Each structure stands twice: as C-alpha cells, then as structure tokens.
Structure 1
Amino acid sequence: MQTSFKVLALAAAVSLLSALPAQAQTRVTFKSAKTGSSYYQMGVQIAEAMKAGTKGAIVVTLEESQGSTQNVMEVRARGADYVFTTPPALVDMAQGAKGPFKDKGDAKFSNIRALFPIPSLTMHFVARSDRGINSMADLAGKTLLLGKGSFGSTEGEKYLKLFGLEGKVTLANGELSNAVPALKNGQIDAFVTAGSWPAPNVIEASASTPITLLSLSDEQIAATERDSLTIPAGTYTGQKTAVKTTSLPVVAYSTTAMSDDTAYTLTKTYWDQKSAMSSGAAWWTGVDQSLMATITGKLHPGAVRYYKEAGFKLTAAQQ
C-alpha cells in the first residue's frame, strides 16, 4: 500500500512538472566589429548586460565583423535572431539601393528596424601641445597621421579638403596603431582618430604627452554634413575646455523577423543596464535620450512599446 502511494505521488509530480511551461531561453547573434576594436568590446559588454539583466533568459553570441556594410548585407541571409550595428545612413542606402548597395538591393533590407543607439563614432584631432596647433588652420605645414582604411582616415582626408588644407599638410606614412608612440617621440605633430569617446588611444596619448584636442567651428561642422558633438571638458588629461567636433551615429538593429517580445526585452534591458555598463566603460556615458534623434528610420515595434512605456519622445517616422 505504501509502495503504491509512492508510485502514485511520483506520477502526480511528473504530471505536474510536465504541465508547467519550460523556462524559455532566447538566443541572439550580435554582429558588431573587428576583434580588438572598441565596438567589439561594446558588443562584449552588451552581451554581458543582457545575460545579467534577463537572468540568462537571453543569451547573446558575439560575432566578429569586417565592417558595417557587411553587417547590413548579411540581413539577406539571417533570421529572427540577428542583431547588428551600423550607422543609420548605411541602412538608408541599403533600403534605397545606393552607395555600396547599388545593384545589390534586396527586399529584406526594407525589414530592418532599429533597437537602440550605441556610442557614436567621434572625430578626434589630436595634436602635441608644444607644436602651436590650436585650430584646424594651424595644421598647415605640420605632419599629420591619418592611418589607412578606417572611417577616421577617410573622414580626416575629407576634412583636409573641405578646410583648404589639402597639399598643405604632410601626411605621415603609418598605421593608426603607431600614432601614440609617434606623437610621443615627436615623429608626428598630430593624428586623427574616430571612435567612441573617450577614445582609448586618445586617453593613452594624453597620459603620456601634453596634447591639444582641436575644436571645429560651427561653419566647419556644417560643411562636413555630419552631426555635431561636444566632448566635455576633463574627458582627457589636460583637456580644460569642451571640444566641438563631429560624429557619425551608430545604432543596433534587428529586422521584423524578430518577435516583438524579444525586441522589447533587448531594448528595455539595454537601457536598464546602461548605468552598470557606464561604470565599467566611460564611453557609455555619452549615450542618452538625445541620441534617439539620430535614428532616421523605423524602430522595431517591440522597441517602440518600450520607448512609449519609458516616456521617450519618438518621431512619426520612427514609428
């Protein structure tokens, strides 16, 4: 009798457990940037934040990327679990089959939807303080390292042309990875870099060499057709005043294939965890509600649900 009771109790327990819903775990692939870059490190931090904020309900797998264009291109072959980062301008180009997407249009590009902004690519013009360089015009006759193949190098070259400095600046032949020691050793007078602020290489440069971070005028910023951004005073060692420069916004995207609930949870957890991420990496301090204005296309409906709950102001175009 006792054995029969135990068997019945065990059967009832198994039946009850079978009736309970299993703990769902959502897996997401996050494609960001090259290993070793600040944006890859941000991807690591976002993955950790999602795990902590959802208590493991969302597991983010980070993938290395060769660039923002590749991230967008892969939308054609990816599914509901795909999240990637890119400037909004590239999404606009993909959806209009322009620029790098000319003759490569795809109906899936129209399904791209934004989730949340991440730190912007910020232009830094870094000069040795003992070289008398206090403005862009002062770069004439100086040696400048632009690096090769990066957004910062192509953007820096563009600015030299815009500001009448083409042919007046000696361009150093070297990689951006050599900029800090070259500046410290006096081999160059200045270098250009683009990254989230505070930029690790600018932190390193300011810690070892007195530097001047160049500001752009309102007219110069307008000529670049980029967004204006202010780097607060004290961001770098010896930086006593705020610096006005330009930036290229970067946003995390998914597609309409992602469920509204997943997009909602990703977006909510990102903003809930931003303070914790900021304590570990200062570049997150530059992310706030003002960056929402840089999202020019549509937000994912799940993200919209969160933003409305949280009281964010959205444009009609974003919804």
Structure 2
Amino acid sequence: MKFGKTLLATTALLATSCLAQAETRVTYKSAKSTSSYYQMGVQIAEAMKAGTNGDIIVTVEESQGSVQNVMEVKGRGADYVFTTPPSLVSLAQGGKAMFKDKGHVKFADIRALFPIPSLTMHFVMSSKSGVTDFAGMEGKSVLLGKGSFGAREGAKYLKLFGLEDKIKLAEVEISNAVPALKNGQIDGFVTSGSWPAPNVVEAAASTDVHILSLSDDQIKQTKRTKLVIPAGTYAGQDTAVNTTSLPVVAFTTTAMDEATAYTLTKTFWEQKAKMGAGAPWWNGVNKELMSNIPGKLHAGAVKYYKEAGFELTENQM
C-alpha cells in the first residue's frame, strides 16, 4: 500500500512538473491601471490564454509610461513584453533625447512583435459652438487637460495652426470633459487614445458634436502619422475624419525564444477578431499598421508573418 501511494504521489508530481514546463509565463508591461492601454493588456492576456489553451499565461503589469517600459529592458529577461511607440525605441537605441547618457547594450536587442491600437488625436467640438474647422476655434473655450500626450500634442497643434493665445483654455479636469461639454461649460475638448475613444463615444452619444478633420497640409506640419477614423465610428459622424496618431507596438527582446515570439504573434492575430467583438478599438488594428514599425521584428514574429503572407520591409527582417 505504501508503495502504491508513493507511486501515485510520484506520478502526480511528475504530471505537475510536466504541466509547469509546458506552461510559458510572460510579463506584459502596459500603462497605468486606469488607462485604456492597461485594459488592452488584460484583453491580450485573456486572448493568449484562450488561444493557446493555457500554454501561455500573461501577467499584466502596471506602468507609469512608455519611457519606463523601455528603460526596464535593462533588467528584464526573456519573458518581458512591453508596449511603447516605435519612435521611443529608436531614440533609446540611438541614445537620444530622454535616453541621452542612459544607453544600454540591451536596447539594441529590442524587437517588435505586433502593433496595437494607436494613440489617436480627437478634437471634439460641440455642434452648438458652430466650429467645423480649426480656424473656427478662435475665441472658444477648449479643454486640453494636463500632463498627458493628448494635452501636449493638442497644445502643439494649436501653436502650429496659429491658435496659441487665441482660445480660452478651460480649467477643467479631462475626466470631466463630457459633462462640461454637455452643460455648455466648454465648447470642446482635445483627447488622445485608441479609437473609438470611450470619452468621445460618450460625448457623441449624449450631445451633438463635431470631430475636426485635419487637412493633409496640417498633418504634414505635425510630423505625425496620418490616421483615418471611418465614418460612423461615432454617433452623428457622417464622414471620415482625417487626424494624426502615434503608433504603439508590443515589443520584446532577442532574449525571448523564437517559439514563444511566434506563438504570441500568431495568437494575437488569430484572436484579434474576437477581441474586436468585445472592444471595438481592436478593429482599427490591421496589416496596414505594420508599416508603422520601422525597426526589426523578432525572428519568431517574422516566421509567422511570412507564413501568413504579410509583406515585410528589409528593415523589419
């Protein structure tokens, strides 16, 4: 009897050990827990678990920002996946801007896996304001918010388009933008985020709004990536909106093995439609966003993209 119990215990231990070995754990560093990008990380974690039958388990970590995500490459290992704009990776690898004098040999090992929803600029004006273009914003009360990418980018655009000091900057928290717009406290607000942006969805559903479209010349002045928000994305939006975006990508490093990178990339694209059914911002991710990745992809990701018929550039391989 003792031998039988010992045999059973040993068998159970071996089974548990094999299961542990079969299971791959990945850390996904995203954004602040209150942001839409953290929610995306949770959705990716759920998609990876479902798409691999639990073979890959993703743990989502909160982050204070994209720069921190890149900097942590220095001390992370093969299980590290993080999100950041490709432009920051380029700066890190070149030791420029916020990475000046903070370079590290591991930055050269950063590799892309797949694109996620871009940070998309929205200039939302109430229909009552009568504003249909940027020139019409003069003299109006506009909420930019503070400290965010959208606030900094919005301020830059107002200066570029000759509106600096010509509008009234509202002293309202960006979290209160929708009620402030609805009650007439402000004429409009500027926000960035994946599209459809939750606060813009809420604003369009609760009051009549007009989302400003940028001309090709204005987009060129911003030096950002053009993005088209399709007609019908928001309530009352009858035409497409031309705006700008900051691409965001999921990265890892060459420390990750090829098989794991391959499975992560393959599962992401195979699960994307299901994610989009529950969270529409995933519907804006398509093959065209691959062109927003200027640097190298992980070898495992390259393997999947070649199998799936994606067109890659020489720089990406």
Q: TM-score, normalised by structure 1?
A: 0.94
1:22 aligns with 2:18: yes
The aligned counterpart of 1:124 is 122
The aligned counterpart of 2:307 is 309
The aligned counterpart of 1:94 is 92
The aligned counterpart of 2:76 is 78
Shift of 1:174: 2.1
Q: Equivalents in 2 of 1:72, 1:197: separation in Å?
A: 24
Deviations 1:246-302 (A, max 9, x none): 000000000000000000000000000001000000000000000000001100000
The aligned counterpart of 1:137 is 135
The aligned counterpart of 1:299 is 297
Q: Equivalents in 2 of 1:262, 1:56: separation in Å?
A: 13
Matches within 5 A, 1:159-174: 159-174=157-172
Q: Equivalents in 1 of 2:226, 2:92: separation in Å?
A: 24
Aligned counterpart for 1:147 among listed residues 141, 145, 148: 145
SS at match of 1:22: helix
Aligned counterpart for 1:255 among listed residues 253, 256, 262: 253
Shift of 1:161: 0.7
Deviations 1:108-133 (A, max 9, x none): 10000000000000000000001110
Q: Equivalents in 1 of 2:128, 2:162: separation in Å?
A: 23
Distance 1:200 1:20, change over 3 A: closer
SS at match of 1:241: coil
Q: Equivalents in 2 of 1:72, 1:18: separation in Å?
A: 38
Q: Equivalents in 2 of 1:239, 1:73: separation in Å?
A: 40
Shift of 1:18: 6.2
The aligned counterpart of 2:219 is 221
Q: Equivalents in 1 of 2:16, 2:238: separation in Å?
A: 60
SS at match of 2:316: coil
Q: Tell me the number of residue pairs that the alignment of Structure 1 and Structure 2 aligns.
A: 312
The aligned counterpart of 1:48 is 46
The aligned counterpart of 1:34 is 32
The aligned counterpart of 2:58 is 60
Q: Equivalents in 1 of 2:174, 2:107: separation in Å?
A: 33
The aligned counterpart of 1:239 is 237
Greater shift in the superposed pair: 184-193 or 20-29: 20-29
Partner amino acid for 2:121? Answer: M
Aligned counterpart for 1:199 among listed residues 197, 200, 205: 197
Shift of 1:22: 2.1
RMSD: 1.9
Query: Runs of 5+ in structure 1 lacking a partner?
Result: none
Q: TM-score, normalised by structure 2?
A: 0.95
Q: Equivalents in 2 of 1:208, 1:231: separation in Å?
A: 20
Partner amino acid for 1:143? Answer: S
Deviations 1:206-265 (A, max 9, x none): 111100000000000000000101101110111111100000000000000000000000
Partner amino acid for 2:222? Answer: T
